[in-house]
Structure 1
Amino acid sequence: MLLFPAERLVLAIIAVLVCADVALISLGNAAFDWGGYAPLVAIGTALIAIGSIYRKSGRSHPIGLAMIAAGLYILFTLAGSVLNYALLPVGELKLDEKLARFDALIGYSWPDFVGFLAQYPTASLILKVIYISSLVQLMAVLILLGFGGRTQQLHEFLLVGIAGALLAIGFWSVAPTMGPSILYELPAETQARVGLVVTTEYGDKLKELALYGPRVITPDETLGLIAFPSFHTVMALMSIVYAWPLRGLRLLFLTVNTLMVPAILAHGGHHLVDLFAGVLVFCIALYVVRRSRSFWALDAARRRSPAAALRNNP
């Protein structure tokens, strides 16, 4: 398989995560939905294989670049999601109350913000669509960078996302939080008018998972577990930063992801401090990836000639 150094690194990280997943699942009590994950793994693997064929044939470097990156993105997302669930149960969630008190000190209240948004259901619907667009945005940026032949930017994008996700999961595994939805019971009418993604019922499911863990780890029932730090904030910043070179689209991504801030707070069921932590995680991930550029990046000559790069990295 013809892979660039950054792609090999991502594949190695995925392999380590899969080993961790298998170990944790074998030690835990949850069943694993092999049949549910198999088609998704097959899609990711097929994309990598097809991209490798395009690359090896020399027919299209951009197509091969985009397809391999998309396949790696899917496989990492699956492995990371399974790891997050395999770490359950985490016990009683005590940190959320402290974060809510910190929010209060700076004048923010999740129930009050949701109540305010209930007065503007159309605006809330727009924010809901924006909130659920995060993964689609990342895939769009990935495809645009890939088909644009922006090898280094695409690889940095992948590695920053992976580093950010691992930092978020790592912190959460030590100090788990699941957001204010586990603390407050909002009026049913308010939830309906806002069309909340993370409802009081959603919060009850999160508390149950924290205390008892999942019965089955399956892609059909995947909830967002990590509140602090907010990974949606990391994804929003990734979309802005890596779409910025795309001049015709930079304003669109900037506008959408500026609106992502209230969307994350309301529909993501987040403490305000979660977003600050998400910004910090993104900055750390970006710093680490750029500081380690010599380890994964191609030099200028090999960037100009992908074929030469592959000959030197068989």
Structure 2
Amino acid sequence: MTSIPLSRGVSLAGFFRRTEWIFIGLIASVVIANLIVGYTNPQNVDWGSFALGAMGAVGLAILGGYYRVAYAHVAWLGKAAVTIAIAAIMGVMLGILFHLHMPRPEPVLTDALLAMDRWFGYDWPAAVAWVAEIPFLGTFLRWVYLSSFFQIIGLIVVLAYLKKNRELDAMTFTNGLSLMLVFVVWQAFPNLSQSTYLPIPYQTAEDAWLVTHSTYGAMLLDMAKNGLPIVSMDAMMGAVAFPSYHMVMCALTVVFARGTFLFWPYLITNIIMLPAILIHGAHHIADLFGGVAVMLMAMIPAYLIVNACYRRDARAA
């Protein structure tokens, strides 16, 4: 295997494509927002707790960029590494921003979200109790629920391997912009998980192997009321009910798996994901619709940015 040495004109700037530099710019904007909010906010950020992961992600991005340039015949490996790294950094930086906005105002959507659940005939505690009565169903749905991040990583690798770089870049932007939109909606309409106000009996939660149980809900409610003295990697929790970011990931993987061998397995898995999100994520029915709507809205600017970059690259070639 031959490589291209750095002395032959490969620079750090050349490691990343136009779309990736724009996405890195978005990450930088979130970092700046974190620094501003952190400076003006009584909560402190334990940046050291994020340092090791951040250095690993930055290192993976640089290594991926170099590998893509140096070993052109397996450039897809570098593309996959860069995409995984920048997507992870964006997720963590936005997670910090979410937690810097604790404590939260009083939730304003609770009654409306519960009303829609009743309209659909859905009740979270009753649904959890039903799942708990069926052996292994809660465990099965738990593993489906926890598979979302692994599905995204798998899809990144497959799209990179198939050289579907435009689709991969569009997926990356859609994911990042979706999470930004989730934050905007959450700021405009404060809301919290059902686990903060609808208790689940301990044994029922154990039998269902519930991810978002009442103990988790109590911790989340305390964070929402009192904030976090220090925002650290260990203290971060899933705080948003509406719109569901888990549903964003569910829809994202199905949409962008089209045209690959992952489509049908992902479609089947993410149909099962719907009850998994409701049960293990303590979500309302409306949260699912909100997640899909956010993802579809984010796709529009994502494709506009990506298509504009690819047109410019084509003219420059």
TM-score, length-normalised on structure 1?
A: 0.91
Match of 1:62 in 2: 76
- Quick one: distance in 2 between partners of 1:72 and 1:242? 18
Match of 1:141 in 2: 155
Comparing 85-94 with 70-79, greater Cα deviation is found at 85-94
3-state DSSP of counterpart to 2:238: coil
Residues 111-166 of structure 1: CA deviation (Å, up to 9, x unaligned): 11111111113111011011111111111111221232221011001011011111
Give the counterpart of 1:158 among 160, 172, 176: 172
Match of 1:229 in 2: 243
Match of 2:10 in 1: none
User: Is it true that 1:281 corresponds to 2:294 in the alignment?
Assistant: yes
TM-score, length-normalised on structure 2?
A: 0.90
- Quick one: distance in 2 between partners of 1:213 and 1:201? 17
Q: How many pairs are equivalent? A: 303
Aligned residues: CA RMSD: 1.7
- Quick one: distance in 1 between partners of 2:313 and 2:30? 32
8 Å CA contact 1:186–1:200 kept in 2: the answer is yes
8 Å CA contact 2:67–2:78 kept in 1: the answer is yes
- Quick one: distance in 1 between partners of 2:96 and 2:257? 28
For structure 1, the 5+ residue unaligned runs are 303-308
Match of 2:211 in 1: 197
- Quick one: distance in 1 between partners of 2:298 and 2:121? 29
- Quick one: distance in 2 between partners of 1:299 and 1:251? 34
Match of 2:128 in 1: 114
- Quick one: distance in 2 between partners of 1:101 and 1:208? 25
Return the offset for 1:102: 2.5
8 Å CA contact 1:152–1:298 kept in 2: the answer is no
Comparing 161-170 with 30-39, greater Cα deviation is found at 30-39
Give the counterpart of 1:266 among 279, 286, 295: 279
For structure 2, the 5+ residue unaligned runs are 1-12
User: Is it true that 1:125 corresponds to 2:142 in the alignment?
Assistant: no
8 Å CA contact 2:166–2:306 kept in 1: the answer is no
8 Å CA contact 1:9–1:296 kept in 2: the answer is no
Match of 1:305 in 2: none
Return the offset for 1:41: 0.6
Match of 2:9 in 1: none
* Runs of 4+ that moved beyond 6 A: none
Match of 2:187 in 1: 173
Q: Percent identity?
A: 27
- Quick one: distance in 2 between partners of 1:148 and 1:204? 45
Residues 175-224 of structure 1: CA deviation (Å, up to 9, x unaligned): 12122111211111211111111011111111111111112211112210
- Quick one: distance in 2 between partners of 1:298 and 1:5? 11
- Quick one: distance in 2 between partners of 1:215 and 1:130? 33
3-state DSSP of counterpart to 1:297: helix
Return the offset for 1:58: 4.6
Residues 38-87 of structure 1: CA deviation (Å, up to 9, x unaligned): 01111110011111212332533212211111111111111111111111
One-letter code of the match for 2:75?
A: H
